[in-house]
Structure 1
Amino acid sequence: MKIVMVPSGFKECLDAEEVALAMERGAKRFDRKADVEIVPMIDGGEGFAKTIIRLKAGKIIYREVTGPVGEKILSHFGIFVENGKKIAVIEMAAVAGLKLVPRHQRNPLETTTYGVGELILSALDLGVDQILFGCGDSGTSDGGVGMAQALGAQFLDTRSKPIQVRSVVDLMKVRHIDTSFLDERLSTVPIDVACNWKNLLCGDQGVARVFGPQKGATPEQVELLSEALDHYAALIKKTVALDVRYLPGSGASGGLGAGLIAFAGATLYPRFEIIKNYIQIEEKIRNADVVFTAEGSLDFQTPNGKIPSEVARIAKKHHIPVIAITGTIGQGAELNYNAGIDAYLSIIPKPTTLEKAMINAPKWIEDSTEAALRQVSIGLTIAKRISSLKGVLQK
């Protein structure tokens, strides 16, 4: 039996490669000789840069930059060469991810993407020809304002005086944006962004309302953030004649997608579509007998472009069964049956705290993978018996 593991990461806990290795260990516990292939599937979030660089035999570059709460942190990006082009891989989660925001400081009205801009400038300083940018697992909701300031954009008040925008309250004071000081290299170096295509900047399904609470926003803060991002979108339209409010991907990573389009000249892509250009996933899935995928939380959002549903979509083209392993099973998880996932199970064996679950996650992923394969084995045994019985009856 050919088993292919194509997991996503468990946010704030394990990256995709760590999940894949735990799943592989579980499969080997079931059968030491099992034919297992792991394909850690990054979605632009945690582990994106390091995974791509490992696959492309590139180099990781470390830089001290501004973290999401304004303190200096050590972050990284990658460089690899392909077809004569020097390509940088930048992962916003490595500089402004939710994992980098202490729980007691989770206020999306005040976190910043300034360090994202600093990483982009560092990549440009190395003379790259192209930037591949991963949007995911963000801890910010500033619309990319911080990044834009690091890149040279100036935000002006009613007297046309530059102000340093450090919070949503500051953003509401802005009346004009001056882009004349943006780094000139941004106009010549293409930036391709892997993002959730369905995330929008504004409206009822905008990033403030959908993701603000996940980042620590109270209901009142959600309303303030939504108003601020509406104001921000109007400023962008006035400045660069582009309406980003409902553009696909504009709400990615707390609105960073909109900022990347407006100030870095970036092009946004559905994350799975661009990433599979670098990871040859379909051929691996096509040759499998069963495919395992994984995600930290399986719920009603999973079918909207998240890795398990995209893996299932490919598998169903080739009539391959898909089993999803997840940390938690959330509201609307049953919708994933219609998205092509044949079965799903939680790794959590008993009531526990979040902290203990995160500590035990690798072991529980192993256990769950082994258990799922034992159930698959039972199904195969039953199928063989039925087949044999039919053969006897036909004789």
Structure 2
Amino acid sequence: MHIVIAPDSYKGSLTAIEAARAIQKGIKEVFPTAKITSLPIADGGEGTVKALVYSMKGELQHNHVLDPLGKTVLAEWGILDTKTAVIEMAEASGLLLVPLSKRNPLITSTYGTGQLIKAALDQGMRKIIIGLGGSATNDGGAGMAQALGVRFLDRSRKELPNGGGYLQDLASIDLTNLDKRIKDTEFILASDVKNPLCGKTGASVVYGPQKGADASMVDQLDKALLHYAAIAEKATGQIVANTNGAGAAGGLGAGLMLFCNATFRQGIQMVLELVQAERLFSEANLIFTGEGSTDFQTVYGKAPVGIGSIAKKYNVPVICVSGSLGKAYDEIFKYGITAAESIVSSPESLAYCMENAASLLQDTAKRICLILKIGATLKCEGIRVIPV
């Protein structure tokens, strides 16, 4: 029996790698001789760097960069092969780097993300994958571009300070010193966000409040981004204000399109292609996947449905083991998931479940495999038996 273990991270509890190890331990307690392939997965959000580096036998890198408020932090990124890098913008410009009391998208910047891109270019990378989840910023990617040599100038030809609020004073953009290596580099943005840069469904209105913006700040930020888009159009010839995905990560999507000619890919599809998941799934008898919480949102580009959709083509059963099964979780059954189970078997506090997620996940995998073992001994016509 060949089992592929392909979980996403269990947010706040386990990385995808830790989750895969826990599931494997549970399986091995029941099927000690089973062939197991561990394939930690991510959907372009948290954990993408670690999952891809692990699954592709890459190498983790660390660089000191500026966080959203300009303080130095040590950020992690990955090299996947001789020319391909993967970056999570949240490592340098993420919301979790800013204390709750200091969250202010008028002044937070993506400069550190630009520094990570420069670090990758310095290492000879010419294909850079960037995950756009979890940002603390609303600067349209201007900070990122500044780190790569772009100058954002006011009417006095002075450079603007960092932060989305200052974009309202933008008069011109100078591309003279934009890093020349960018034109020879492919930029792929891993994101499922479809929001435009501006307007009622734009970056400021939809995501600004969770980054610390009140109603007046949201209005100011939205107007600033609209003005930024108009000036950027003059400098680059590109129109981004209403482009799908431009509003991702506080407009970093727009900035990467404007200055790096980046393209968007659905996160989970891109990750599954990179790790050659289809080949592995086609050879498997059974697949385990999982995530922190499975609910109605899972069908919108999350890891389990990406995995299930591929497995369905080869009639390979997929079991989704998640921290919790929420509202309308059974929608995943339309996308190739065969069965779903929660790791919580009795009433427990959330704190307990998060603290003991590894042992709960291992135990759940064991219980599932014990049931599968019963099924393998049944002699009923029409029942597909997985060889043990």
* TM-score between both structures, scaled by the size of structure 2: 0.84
Aligned to 1:146: 143
Q: Deviations over 1:10-54 (max 9, x none)?
A: 234432212211221222234333433221113333343344344
Q: Does structure 2 conserve the Cα–Cα contact (< 8 Å) formed by 1:92 and 1:133?
A: no
Of 280, 295, 301, 2:291 maps to 295
Of 314, 317, 337, 1:318 maps to 314
Shift of 1:3: 2.3
Q: Distance in 2 between matches of 1:87 and 1:256?
A: 20
Per the alignment, do residues 344 and 157 of structure 1 end up closer, same or farther by CA in structure 2, a change over 3 Å counting?
farther
- Structure 1 window deviating more from structure 2 (13-22 vs 306-315): it is 13-22
2:25 aligned with 1:21? no
Aligned to 1:387: 381
Aligned to 1:41: 41
Per the alignment, do residues 169 and 97 of structure 1 end up closer, same or farther by CA in structure 2, a change over 3 Å counting?
closer
Per the alignment, do residues 81 and 290 of structure 1 end up closer, same or farther by CA in structure 2, a change over 3 Å counting?
closer
AA partner of residue 61 (structure 1): Q
Q: Distance in 1 between matches of 2:204 and 2:113?
A: 20
Q: Does structure 2 conserve the Cα–Cα contact (< 8 Å) formed by 1:48 and 1:134?
A: no
AA partner of residue 180 (structure 2): E
Q: Distance in 2 between matches of 1:134 and 1:337?
A: 30
Shift of 1:74: 1.0
Aligned to 1:121: 118
Aligned to 1:91: 88
Per the alignment, do residues 11 and 111 of structure 1 end up closer, same or farther by CA in structure 2, a change over 3 Å counting?
farther
Shift of 1:330: 4.2
Q: Distance in 2 between matches of 1:95 and 1:124?
A: 16
Q: Distance in 2 between matches of 1:25 and 1:254?
A: 40
* TM-score between both structures, scaled by the size of structure 1: 0.83
Of 264, 277, 283, 2:279 maps to 283
Q: Deviations over 1:102-145 (max 9, x none)?
A: 4554555543321111111122223x151322314323232322
Per the alignment, do residues 80 and 333 of structure 1 end up closer, same or farther by CA in structure 2, a change over 3 Å counting?
closer
Q: Deviations over 1:340-364 (max 9, x none)?
A: 33333333443424x5443222222
Of 248, 253, 257, 1:252 maps to 248
Q: Does structure 2 conserve the Cα–Cα contact (< 8 Å) formed by 1:101 and 1:139?
A: no
Indicate the percent of aligned positions where both proteins have the same amino acid: 38
Aligned to 1:52: 52
AA partner of residue 92 (structure 1): M
Shift of 1:375: 4.1
Q: Distance in 2 between matches of 1:208 and 1:135?
A: 19
Q: Does structure 2 conserve the Cα–Cα contact (< 8 Å) formed by 1:43 and 1:136?
A: no
Q: Distance in 1 between matches of 2:88 and 2:258?
A: 19
Q: Distance in 2 between matches of 1:328 and 1:97?
A: 26
RMSD between aligned residues: 3.1
AA partner of residue 154 (structure 1): R
Q: Distance in 1 between matches of 2:232 and 2:73?
A: 29
Q: Distance in 1 between matches of 2:294 and 2:244?
A: 23
- Structure 1 window deviating more from structure 2 (172-181 vs 287-296): it is 172-181
Per the alignment, do residues 364 and 186 of structure 1 end up closer, same or farther by CA in structure 2, a change over 3 Å counting?
same
SS at match of 1:276: helix
Q: Distance in 2 between matches of 1:172 and 1:63?
A: 31
Query: For 1:1-395, what aligned pairs fall within 5 Å after superposition?
Result: 1-79=1-79, 81-82=81-82, 86-126=83-123, 128-142=124-138, 143-166=140-163, 168-196=164-192, 198=194, 200-212=196-208, 215=211, 225-348=221-344, 349-353=346-350, 355-378=351-374, 384-387=378-381
SS at match of 1:288: coil
